[in-house]
Amino acid sequence: MVSIPLRTRFRGVDHREAMILRGPSGDAEFAPFLEYDAAESARWLAAAIEASWGSWPAPVRDSIPVNATVPAVSAAEVAGVLARYDGCTTAKVKVAERGQALEDDVARVAEVRSILGPSGRIRVDANGGWSLDDAVWALTALSGFELEYAEQPCATIDELASLRIALVNNGVDLRVAADESIRKATDPLLVARRHAADVAVVKVAPLGGVQAALDIAVEAALPTVVSSALDTSIGIAAGVALAAALPSLEFACGLGTVELLSTDVTSEPLVPRAGAIDVRRPLADRFSFVPASPERESWWRERLAAAYAEL
């Protein structure tokens, strides 16, 4: 059980807690976000069981291009964040942060564009934080920075579908990507059937494992981006395995997020080198460096048992 400080507050947290499980197939991570109930956490446990006691699909590539991730920092802090991502020419920029305004998002994205230059790729992620009207307004303003796509600009599938139409009507040529509408949905394929997104963002743990996520990506038949859930390198390895097994990989993946953590549970972290991560599986050999308190460990053991009861 570990508790790792973040370099910058992200998703409203400043520490990432995770359980590291060890089985015959390798190390695994169980780390559903703290607000998730037992039923939702059970999918994360299913992914960990697959990683430690099952097997992953065979890879079709040995290297995964990844993007830098820029939290909702000030424009002045952007350069320092991007400097941690060796060779990454794509950046995902967090927008629609509570307590901030569109002007903050514009300044942040503008600074990323200035640093990456005209050939760099930029995508924004609102985590469902905008209403439909706000998303149209904000993305029209941000589209001047030649965005690759906008990830989960609105919370619901109906809003995403309407947004795609509204952007076209406004003359904004911008793809819409779905994340929460896939990984938190009872039916993760509904977003594809409703034509509510141009890109599917998939995460291994919330979808129940590498094979389950691969099946969803293939059936959705949308360009797929594999992303992390603020994992240690042990969790990232599962995302890398998924990205390696996809039939095609058009976009850089959001698997460089170990750089958001102040340390890691392995001496061989999965971080980008020349803009990519090699397909490999590290061993958790440093988890004793960042142990959680006995109280938090007890809380997580109870949570593990509750999630297991849901399987």
Q: Which residues are annotated as a binding site for Mg(2+)?
A: 125, 151, 179
Tokens encoding 221:
């038949």
User: Which one of 16, 113, 183, 203 is the catalytic residue?
Assistant: 203
CA distance 22 to 32: 17
Give the 3-state secondary structure of residue 253: strand
Which residue ranges are tagged as binding site? 125, 151, 179
Rg (the chain; Cα; Å): 19
CA distance 138 to 97: 13
203 is catalytic: yes
Question: Between the CA of residue 253 and those of 84, 107, 111, 163, 186, what are the distances in Å?
Answer: 16, 24, 21, 24, 24
The number of C-alpha atoms within 13 Å of 156 and in the hemisphere containing its C-beta is 5
Bridge partners of residue 30, in order along the sequence:
19
CA distance 138 to 190: 26
Residue position matching structure tokens 């820029």: 70
User: Which one of 16, 43, 92, 94 is the catalytic residue?
Assistant: 94
Yes or no: say if 105 and 124 are a contact pair by the CB < 8 Å rule. Answer: yes
Catalytic machinery residues: 94, 203
